[in-house]
Structure 1
């Protein structure tokens, strides 16, 4: 079930097929101890992660720069379709409470993670939805494709090593 419509003027998309099972990709996205090992593109790291895997639940992470600066991000899970779809936003806090904190990105956005079986692997789609085209461009210029792509590579590396 798709409950959103892509808007190329507002949304950024990373789509790739990876050679790991969908259940392993899902587990890496929904298990804090695993997410902390791949979520930030190296040399950045993720020293903290808290996930309450239910609508209204927390999706909180902290990213650390190579220089040691920390960037906490508080968010809210909007939708969980076990094993296939995770949607969260930095525009809301736990319990769907509106928040003004903009987190490490510097602006609120909504992430849609879609995980689908594809042969022996997984069709992985990550969408970052933005409120306006200037915010989309800012996220793109920050390196969305490269950063989220590197993080996906690290996710695949992690699940293959387990």
Structure 2
């Protein structure tokens, strides 16, 4: 397998290190963008059930805060803080847990993710890519349920945005 460059994000997808979810959905990019960038909307779909997103803060600019708090059915709680690296309205979001607001290092380098929204005749080609520092971290994320979890969250987002 060879690495492929994604022209939109200018990142190189490496199947040894990265995970990808790509699907065409019947919702226009503008509504998916709102679901990703408005905290009240993001909290309704971001975490696959039975988990819930109970808090969200967004400062939508490069270097701006992206924070979510996820709570599990047994009282588990994950407070995730990161920052945006790239923001192109209705086209691209890139964020990372390695850096916090103002690009300050967090000490957490679990992943950097990009989400692209490409208009199609039927809606949007939605692509989410999770970049990892090494194969072990990629494998850990895959075993945690990347494909199932991110697909379930996408299904929840599509259901939400279809009703908007």
What's the TM-score, normalizing by structure 1? Answer: 0.94
Deviation, 1:129, is 0.2
* Distance in 2 separating the partners of 1:125 and 1:18: 10
Q: Which runs of 4+ in 1 moved over 6 A?
A: none
Q: Which residue of 2 aligns with 1:11?
A: 18
Spell out the pairing of 1:69-88 with structure 2 (5 A cutoff).
69-88=76-95
Q: Which residue of 2 aligns with 1:115?
A: 117
* Distance in 1 separating the partners of 2:74 and 2:143: 21
CA RMSD of superposed structures (Å): 0.9
Q: Which residue of 1 aligns with 2:151?
A: 149
Once the two structures are superposed, residues 45-85 of structure 1 have per-residue CA deviations (whole angstroms, 9 ceiling, x without a partner) of 00000010000000000100011221100001000011100
Spell out the pairing of 1:12-91 with structure 2 (5 A cutoff).
12-91=19-98
* Distance in 2 separating the partners of 1:136 and 1:161: 34
Aligned residues: 157
- Structure 1 unmatched runs, 5+: none
- 2:9/2:114 contact within 8 Å kept: no
SS in 2 for 1:23: helix
- 2:9/2:92 contact within 8 Å kept: no
SS in 1 for 2:94: strand
* Distance in 2 separating the partners of 1:137 and 1:119: 35
